[in-house]
Structure 1
Amino acid sequence: MKYSPLLLATFLLQGQQAQAGPISSLRARAWQVEAIKLLLEAIGVLTESESDKVWEIKEHPQMCEVTMETHHGAACKAYVHCDDGTKEYNANGQDWNACFVGGRQFFNDPRIGDFSITFSDRDGYTQGEGLTTPILQVKHVKDWQPWPVNDLARRYSGDCIGGNGMCDDGPYLCWRNSDMQANPFKRWGCGVPKIGKSGGDVTSVGPINDKGYAPGQCGIHVIQYQKPDPAKDSYALEITHLNDNNEAKIGGTEKVGPSVSLTSKLPWTVEIKTGGVDADPVSFAYGGDAWDSNDSRCSVGAYDNGKREMDCGFTCN
C-alpha cells in the first residue's frame, strides 16, 4: 500500500509522540525532521529554502500572516495581516458558526483569496485544554491542501523557542504561543502567500481567465539603453518580461527602438516610450491607465554600463 506524504507524516509524528521507553534527543529530532519534511513537501514547501520565518511580512511583503485563536475552548477568531493592514474575522464573537470540533469555517480575504480553518481536536497533544489542532486550507495553494498547523508550529517552537540550540534555517511556516498547554488563550499563525505570489517555497496560484492569463496585478521589467551618440542616436528599450498576477511570463520583447507597443495575452497593448534625455522618466500606458517611471508603482535603478533597469506594476484585470 502506498501512503500519501501527508498521511505518512502523520503516522511518523504520532509514532514519535507515543514512543515508549527512553529515546535519545538526537533520534527523536531526526524522526521529527523526517516527518516535518514530508509535511512541508505535501503542501509544496521545500525545506532547503533559505527563508526563515515566512510570516514576517516586513521581510516577506509578498506574504500575509493568517492568525487563528480560541479562548477557553470557544470564541474562535481569525486575522489576516498583510503589509496593507489587518482584517479581523469574527470580531463580535458571533459570526463563526462552526466553532466546534471538526467544524470548517470558510472566509474570503482579497489578498489571499478563499481559505478555511477547522479546529480538528479538543485537548490536543501538547496544546492543553480547549479547541486545538487547527487545519488551515487555502484555495489558491495547491487547491485546498490541508496544512497541519500545530505540527508545523511545533517545529518552530521546538527548534527556536525551546532553547535547545538546534534552530535551523527553516523555512518556518507556522508558529504558536509558547505557553499553550497552560494558557486558555491559544493562538497559531502561518505565513500565506498573496494570490499569485510565493514565499518559503509555497506558492499561491490564482485562476487563469479565458484569455490565458491571471488577472489582477501585472509586473513589467524594462531595460533602457542610453544613446550611443546623443547627437544622432535614439534610446533603445528591452522588455525582458511582462508577468501576470501569478508571476507567469505573458509577454516581452528583445532590444528595440525608443518606443514599444507591447502585445501579449492582455487585451490591450502596453505602451512604453522613452524621454528626450537620460534624466527623463520612461512613460507607460495600458488601457485608460498612464504613468511614468517616477511613479511610486515603479522601482528604477541608476544607469550602469550604458543602461538602467526598472520594474513597474499595474492593474491588469
Structure 2
Amino acid sequence: MTGINHANGRSDGRPALTIYLASPRGFCAGVDRAIQIVELALEKFGAPVYVRHAIVHNRYVVETLRAKGAVFVEELDEIPDTEAPIVFSAHGVPKAVPEAAQNRDMFVLDATCPLVSKVHIEAERLYEDGAEILLVGHAGHPEVIGTTGQLPPGAVHLIETIGDAQAFTPKDPGRLAVITQTTLSVDDTKEIMDVLRERFPNIAVPRKDDICYATTNRQDAVKRIAAKCDRMIVVGSPNSSNSLRLVEVAERAGCPRAMLMERAAEIDWSVFDGVGRLGITAGASAPEVLVDDIIDAFRRRFDVHVETVTTAEENISFKLPRPLRDVPAA
C-alpha cells in the first residue's frame, strides 16, 4: 500500500507505515534527576564538574553534558585535587567510593537513583540481621557493583540465571534473603524468584519489588504493542540494561524482530522493506529527541501514521541534593 498525499488525495509513492509509539518510554525520574544534577552543578559552580562513570547509560546524554563542561572519569584517582563538584552516577557506587572522596575532602553530589539507594539500604539491613544475601542481577553492571559494594566482600551471592538459582547452596536455608537489580526483565526475574521460593520457602523477599516502576511500565507498554508490530525499535545504548531488556521483552511478546538503536543514523533500511507496522519505544536513559529523530527519518521514506499506546501515567519526581535546590531548573 502506498501513501496518500492528503493535500490532493493522490498517492505520493511512499508506502504506508503505522508507528505504534509506546508510552511510557524514555527518561525515568531517576535519570531525569541525575542529568539535572550535572546541569545545575555546571550552572551554579561552573565547569568543570567531574562525573564518576557515565551519569546514565546513553552516549548522546554524555556527549551533550561533556560539551557543557562535564568531565567523565571512571575512578576518583583520575581527578586532580579540586574544589569542583564530583557527581556519582545514577547507578550507585560501592561504599568505598564516597569514603575515598571524603578522605580527599571532595565536594560530592550523589546522583544515585533513590530506588537504587533503597536496595542498598535493604541490603545493609538484611546483612545486619544476619541474612545470607542473594542478588539477582547481571555481573559487571555498575548497579550490581555498587550494591555488592555496600557490604563486605563475599557477603552477596550473585544470581544471574535460573541455573544459578537451582545450583546455589546456602549456608543456612533458614537465614536467606534476596534483592534484585532495578532494571531487570520482570518476567525473567519472576522465574528466578519462583525457583528460589520453591527451593527455599522461608527466603526473605523484598517488601516491595526492587525492579523499579519505570522498568516495569516500559516493559508493560512494549508487551501491549509487540504482537501487532512487524518490527520494533528500542531507542537506547548497548550498555543500558533496561534498554536491552526491552528488546528481549518485545520478541518474547510476539514481535518477529526487535532491535536496539542509539540514533537515526544507524537505521538499516533493508530491515524495513515491506514493513507496515513498526513499534518504537525508548529505554529509561534515552532522551525523547532521539525518538523524534527516528520518527522523522521514517517520515521521509514512508507515509507515517503515529498511534501512541499508553499503558500507565508517570508523575514521580525525586528531590535534588540540598546544594542544588536553590538553582532554578532549565
Tell me whether the two structures share a fold, i.e. TM-score over 0.5. Answer: no
TM-score range, shorter chain: under 0.3
Structure holding more helix per residue: 2
**TM-score for the superposition, normalised by structure 2:** 0.21
Structure holding more strand per residue: 1
